[in-house]
Amino acid sequence: AFARAYNLKTHMATHDPNRLKPHVCPHRSCGRSFSRKHDLGRHLVSIHRDEPEVTSIGVEKGQRGWCDSCGKGYVGRAPECACHDIK
């Protein structure tokens, strides 16, 4: 159930096969595209996590990586995850 009609309308738009998908996966062999940037980010972390990162977002500048302990994706310096405090 949706509390507002707008939320239902927005949700239904995600099922429209003709909607724009401007956020394209940077992996050359993939070809997937997404209407929301958030969905592209989730795709990169869940699908391309273990693939070579040469075409991933931010890698050209050495900014993208994944935590070896918890698997969390990050851009920039390694995150300060709670898993890093475990000894």
- Sign of the Cα torsion 65, 71, 73, 75 reads negative
For residues 30 and 25, what is the distance between their CA atoms, to the nearest angstrom?
A: 7
**Mean pLDDT score of the chain:** 75
- Is the pLDDT assigned to residue 86 strictly greater than 60? no
Chain centre to alpha carbon of residue 52: 16
> Which pLDDT does position 29 carry in this prediction?
74
- The three-state secondary structure class of 34 is strand
Mean pLDDT of 34-63: 73
- Is the pLDDT assigned to residue 1 strictly greater than 70? yes
